[in-house]
Amino acid sequence: MHAIRNEPTCASASCHEHPASQTVLGIVDIAYSLDEIDQAMRKHAIHIAAISFAFIVLVTFSLGYLLQRMIYVPLKDLETGAKKIRSGQLDVAIPVRSPDEFGRVAGSFNDMTTALKDARSELNELIQELESKVEERSRELLAARAEVAQGEKLASIGVLAAGIAHELNNPLTGVLTFTSLMRKKVLEGSEDAEDLDLVIRETKRCASIIRRLLDFAREKVPVKGFFNLNQVVEDTVRFVERPASLQKIVISMDLDPGLPQIWGDADLIKQVVLNILVNAQQAIEGAGTIAVVSRSYVVKTPQPTDEKSVPMVELAIKDSGCGIPEANMQRIFDPFFTSKEVGKGTGLGLSVSYGIVKAHGGEIKVASVVGQGTTFRILLPITSPFSESELRPGEKAQ
C-alpha cells in the first residue's frame, strides 16, 4: 500500500486534471500472497532445527566419547585392576592411555602392583627358607633327641656292665689261676690236659669279654694328638688279612696318599677299624671282598647367617656279606645287640665304636642291602672340634 501525491510538476502539466490544492491523488494498494514465503521460512526453520539438533547430538556424542575415553575408561581400568589385585592376581598391568592425571595414577598403580609382586615373591622365599630351616632344625632336634636317648641307654648299660664285670672278674681270676696251676701238674697230651686247656681258653675269653665290658663302662682317658689314618688302617688290616685269606676273602685298600693327619687317639680309632673289619669278615659266608677307602671330605653345617664348611676325612669299609635287615638297622649300635650265632659275638663292638667316634667329634653311618653287603662310613675331624678348655689331661690340640 502506497500513497500517490500531487507533485507540483503534475499539477502544472497539461494532462493533469487535478488542482494543485489536492495533495493526494490516490492510493496504490498491492496485494501479494505470503504462502510461499511462509513455506520457505518453515523449510528454513526445519533445516535450522535439524542442523541444530544434529550439532547438539554431535556435540553430545563427542563429549560422551571424550568423557568415556578420558574418565570412564581409566576409572574402569583402575576398578578392574583393583579387583584382580584383591583376588591375588599381581601380574595385571593397567594401560596408561594418556599423560594426564589418570595416566599418572595408572602408572603409580602399576608401580604399586610391581612392588606388591616383588614383596610377595620375597615373602614366599622367606617362607620357604623358614620352612626349610624349621624342617632342618626339626631333623636336628630329632637326631639330638635320639642321640640323648642313645647316650642315656649307654650310660645305664655302662653302669650295669661295670657292676656285672666287677662281680665276675674276681671269681674268674681265681678260676684261671688255679686252673693254670693244675695244668702244670698234669701230663702233656693227656685228656685232663686237654680239658684244662679248654677251661683256661674259655676263662680267658670270659676275662676278655669282661675287660671289654669295663672299657665300655668306664671312660678311658684318651691320649689324643695328630696321627696318620692311612697308617692306622694299614696296621689294622694286617691283623685280619691272614684269617680273611683263609676264608677266601680279599681285602682291598684305596687310601688317599694326600690325606691330612687327623686329631684323636690312634689306638681307639684302630679299635673302631678292627671292630668293623671283624664284623665285615664274619658277615661274609665263604669267599667275598672287603674294600677299605679313605678320602678327604667336607661337611657343611648350617649357621645363623651362612653355611660352615668343616674339613673331615672319610673312611669307608664296604663288604659283600649278607647285609643287615631293615628291622635291625636302628639297633645295631645298641649294647649287647647282635644277630650273630651264640658264641660269635657279644654285641659290644659297634656300641664301643659308636662311642669312640662320637667322642672324637665324628660320625658313623651305615648303609646296607640284604644279600648285597654293608658299608660303614666313618667321618672324623681333621682338627679338634672342642676348645682348649674342653680337652682332658693327656690331650693336645693344634
- Co-location of 124 and 198 in the same domain: yes
- Co-location of 259 and 185 in the same domain: no
Total count of domains within the chain: 2
User: Looking at residue 165, which CATH number applies to its domain?
Assistant: 1.10.287
- Co-location of 167 and 250 in the same domain: no
Cα 308 to Cα 36: distance, rounded to the nearest angstrom: 109
- Co-location of 168 and 199 in the same domain: yes
What is the H or E stretch that residue 37 is in? helix 35-67
Q: What is the pLDDT of residue 267?
A: 82
CB 269 within 8 A of CB 233: no
* Residue that terminates a domain, selected from 189, 218, 247: 218
Asked if the structure places residue 196 within a domain, the reply is: yes
Asked if the structure places residue 359 within a domain, the reply is: yes
Question: How many residues in the chain?
Answer: 398
- Co-location of 270 and 290 in the same domain: yes
- Co-location of 124 and 196 in the same domain: yes
- Co-location of 271 and 397 in the same domain: yes
- Co-location of 246 and 362 in the same domain: yes
Asked if the structure places residue 106 within a domain, the reply is: yes
| Mean pLDDT split into 10-residue runs, the chain, 398 residues | 78 68 81 85 91 91 80 76 75 73 75 81 88 87 76 66 72 83 82 83 75 60 80 87 85 91 86 88 88 85 63 91 83 68 58 84 89 91 61 40
- Co-location of 398 and 251 in the same domain: yes
Nearest to 330 by CA among 276, 387, 380, 368: 368
- Co-location of 300 and 354 in the same domain: yes
Q: Which domain holds residue 305?
A: 220-398
CB 336 within 8 A of CB 344: no
- Co-location of 269 and 208 in the same domain: no
- Co-location of 229 and 206 in the same domain: no
Model confidence, pTM:
0.46
